[in-house]
Structure 1
Amino acid sequence: MKFSKIFKDQLDHCYAIMRMNAKGRDFLVVASEEAQPCYAYDLDNDFARTTVWPNVGGTMTMVQIPDTLNFLATQRFYPGFNSPNCRIVKETWNGKDWDQKIIGEFPYVHRFDIIPKQSGKGYWYVGCSIANSKKDVDDWSDPGKVWVGEYDDEQEKIINQHALDIRITKNHGYKRMNGYSFITGVEGIFKLNWPVDGKDWKIEQLTDYETSDIFSADVNQDGKNEYLTIEGFHGPDLRISDSEFNQISRSDAKTPFGHAIWGGRIGNREYFIFGWRAGKQDLELITSDHLDSQLIDEKVGPSNVLVYEKNGRQYLFSANREVSEVAVYAIDTEG
């Protein structure tokens, strides 16, 4: 398989990424974790760039509102992990660019999601705080909370918000699945079941080893999901587990500051993609459940990646944070 860089742009400390394809328009969106811009690139106009906002940043998460070009995003998640002034904003497409409204203040919320309700209209809201309070960046004595509620898009606000009866230290990872979400931290991997059939939110612990991030893919083609997990807070280890979280393999070489993680179909089978922000700072394609890999790019230190399809061809979108580079790679599955 061959990856060819076909587009790049500069954005200091680029971090959060998203692809939005709705209403006849198609954009890649990237935001910085510092007080820097958020950019949108038009996939139907040679990556023409629009500035969504100029200089706020501190963006850890962006979530598209389904079937629209509107989205929610965190801002002011800085400095570092000490972010009492973190907020969520709504960006509304006006036909040319985006108008912003502040939804509210959400201290220390690092990952969040809005989930379409299975019955009726509206969205469930999940907000995961990396800590509940901090004396300084290195203070982890007050663990984070899992906040749940509802997002009302007409009122443009979070309602009925409350914290679940659980505290998670260094809660960094979040992954929406089918009917539930994974949440990760020092205490392990947790499964958050959404309210369905009149049931309330329910969270259960699945593992007890420190996990920073998680993604799923059927990388060994056995018909079941395998899980790629970054162990420790931002690494330095990688693990692949089976569908029951039994370990299949664990990395020999260290992958310090492991961060970029994705899994899914490329061509006619599924793969993982992984990148780390220290040491070699490589971006890799993981081709088997024993962590066999192919180098995609080196010394780029990616923060987040995703694969998307356009006009019958697949591409890799990467926020190469450590070199302040926004990059798109064309994927040739025959190469």
Structure 2
Amino acid sequence: MKAIKKAVYPMQKCYSIAQIQHNDKPYIAVAAEKEDDCLLFTPEGKFVETIWKGPSGTMSIVPLQGENGAFLATKKMFSPNNADEACIVLVRPTAQGWKEKTLIKIPYAHRFDVLESDGKRYLVCATIKKTKEYEDDWRFPGQYLACELPPESENADLKLQVIVDGLLKNHGYIRRHDKNGDYSVISSATGIFEIHPPTDKNSEWSVEKLLDEETSDMAFADFDGDGQDEMVTLSPFHGNTVKFFKKQDAGCSWKCVYEFPKKLEFVHAIWAGTVKGKQVAVIGHRKGESRDLYVFSYDNGYRAEVLDKDCGSTNVLVYNFMGKDRIVSANREINEIAFYEFEE
């Protein structure tokens, strides 16, 4: 499997990526980790416009379904050492341009999402830590926070509830879905947790620990085609190891079935899903002799192929447009937003 780079655009320390729908057309939004802007592109990688001017400090962008291009984003989350003023903003396209309003201030808000369950929307947020007193101070572990998000959220007085506490180096997040609606999976130095919102008026938030292993990020896909998703992890926190786990028949335990023998320093970018009819994971790392972008797949065993060399990806998103599977990668370490097309 190959990916051909079709378009690039410069952005200092590009980081967060999301696909949004505006006026029934798909677009790609990309925002910077530090001082640069948030920009809008066509799916082919053509620059459209600037959504906001920097500084950004944007770790996550979450589209609001059915709201014609509106999205939520973190701002002022510049690093685990500089996020006392972090917040979530609501951004909407208008006839006068993109308008932004602070929705809620959440120090050290790293990942967040909007979940739908039992006809309600919930704002959830994973903080990487609570606070700090000096550089690289990890004495105040992060949390998973949640509250109901009303339809008219602009002026709502949001009160977050602590669902999980004590999440050291609380970093990874993915949204999943089952018969009851959306739920979260988060990863930290404390392990990986599955968190479900209430499914009816009589239920509460539920938390299950999936893996008792320090993990930076994870994703899920049915790589071997047996009908059950495997879990691919990047570990430890900002670490160098890629592992694949399968859920065991008895109980809810997960067993490592493959560990990629090559160490990928500061492995960070991860996405899993279908590309050209195959379940794959796209993974990138940010340090080392060659900061490559890989695609992992399964063919009588797990295998890895290099998609791009020395690009230093921090986040990736795979999507289909005009019948072609594509990647947008925030190649942070070379200050480049890159758009690729998959080829066999």
- Distance in 2 of aligned mates of 1:134 and 1:100: 28
TM-score with structure 1 setting the length: 0.94
Counterpart for residue 63 of structure 2: 64
Query: In structure 2, what residue type is equivalent to 1:37?
Result: D
**What stretches of structure 2 of length at least 5 have no aligned partner?**
249-253
Counterpart for residue 125 of structure 1: 123
- Distance in 1 of aligned mates of 2:126 and 2:236: 18
Shift in CA distance, 5/284, structure 1 to aligned 2, threshold 3 Å: same
Counterpart for residue 227 of structure 1: 231
Query: In structure 2, what residue type is equivalent to 1:265?
Result: T
Pair 1:288-2:298 in alignment: yes
- Distance in 1 of aligned mates of 2:87 and 2:210: 30
Counterpart for residue 74 of structure 2: 74
Counterpart for residue 210 of structure 2: 206
**Structure 2 counterpart SS, 1:306:** strand
1:264-319 deviation digits (Å, cap 9, x = unpaired): 00111211110000112110010228541111001111011111111111111111
- Distance in 2 of aligned mates of 1:205 and 1:295: 33
Pair 1:146-2:144 in alignment: yes
Query: In structure 2, what residue type is equivalent to 1:60?
Result: M
**Structure 1 counterpart SS, 2:247:** coil
**Mean CA deviation greater in 280-289 or 49-58:** 280-289
Percent identical pairs in the alignment equals 31
- Distance in 2 of aligned mates of 1:281 and 1:43: 25
- Distance in 1 of aligned mates of 2:79 and 2:104: 19
Shift in CA distance, 34/165, structure 1 to aligned 2, threshold 3 Å: closer
Pair 1:253-2:262 in alignment: yes
**Structure 2 counterpart SS, 1:322:** helix
Conservation of the 8 A alpha-carbon contact between 1:317 and 1:329: yes
Counterpart for residue 183 of structure 2: 180
Equivalent pairs, count: 330
Deviation at 1:61, TM superposition (A): 0.5
**Structure 2 counterpart SS, 1:197:** coil
Counterpart for residue 313 of structure 2: 302
Conservation of the 8 A alpha-carbon contact between 2:33 and 2:57: yes
1:14-51 deviation digits (Å, cap 9, x = unpaired): 0000111343222111000002100001348x713310
**Structure 2 counterpart SS, 1:206:** strand
Alignment partner of 1:278 out of 262, 266, 287: 287
Conservation of the 8 A alpha-carbon contact between 2:39 and 2:47: no
Conservation of the 8 A alpha-carbon contact between 1:92 and 1:100: yes
Shift in CA distance, 235/79, structure 1 to aligned 2, threshold 3 Å: closer
Counterpart for residue 340 of structure 2: 329
- Distance in 2 of aligned mates of 1:216 and 1:155: 31
Deviation at 1:153, TM superposition (A): 4.1
